[in-house]
Copies of this chain bind each other. A is one copy, B any other.
Amino acid sequence: MTDGTLALDRAAQELLFTEARTANTFTDEPVTDAQVAAIYDLVKWGPTAMNTQPLRLTLVRSPQARERLVAHMNEGNKAKTAAAPLTIIVTADADFHEHLPVTFPHKPDAREVMAANPGRARMAHFNAAIQLGYLIVGIRAAGLAAGPMAGYDAEGIKKEFLADDNRQVVAVVNVGRPGPDAWFDRNPRLSYDQVVTEI
């Protein structure tokens, strides 16, 4: 079913946005590598500036890795991070420019120019945030619930897992099937008139 204005059918609108919710509990059902690969193969096509694609995903599933991660989460995020079948540490790779000869081939000096750009880490963070938006949509496209979190010790996570990489932690996202009482009440959204103006 489509409505009059959007080309996307209503079932997809509901799956991705209007009925999708941030989950706070999860069932034990595993999230497979095949599911993660399908999500990535979908959302990788979302555009980034200069095709920089700085998003990197570190999967946490084993009890050992999970315990190390939970130690760096804020108190209110520990229980759900311990219980999710998959948690993704989402990072921005400030060394994205190493890939530019392949990913942005029509500008042969892009790697060299970017290597000297002091704004590179900021550019990585910004574009990885755009890709985080795609990723949350993609997790939902797989029929799974996402639980993105901002409450954690970013430096602690970096030292624990990513000490050798030139990456910043952008978000930590729980992924799985929603469990009992998975949802809080839905918070209100700003109205069109509060957000959109024309000049």
Which residues of A does B touch, CB under 8 Å?
Answer: 3, 5-9, 11-13, 15-18, 20, 22, 34-47, 49-51, 53, 55-62, 65, 99, 102-106, 125-127, 129-134, 136-138, 141-143, 146, 148, 150, 161, 170, 184, 187-190, 192, 194-199
Contact = CB atoms under 8 A, between A and B. Distances in A.
Given A5-B38, A6-B142, A99-B190, 8 more contacts: A6-B42, A6-B143, A37-B196, A41-B192, A53-B189, A53-B195, A105-B188, A127-B129
Nearest to A198: B59
A137 B46 contact: yes
A101 to B, nearest CB: 11
A133 B46 contact: yes
A103 B133 contact: no
For the complex formed by this chain, how many copies does it contain in all?
Answer: 2
A12 to B, nearest CB: 4
B60 A199 contact: yes
Contacts of A9: 9, 11-12
B99 A196 contact: no
Given A34-B5, A142-B7, A17 B40 contact: no
B45 A187 contact: no
B49 A150 contact: yes
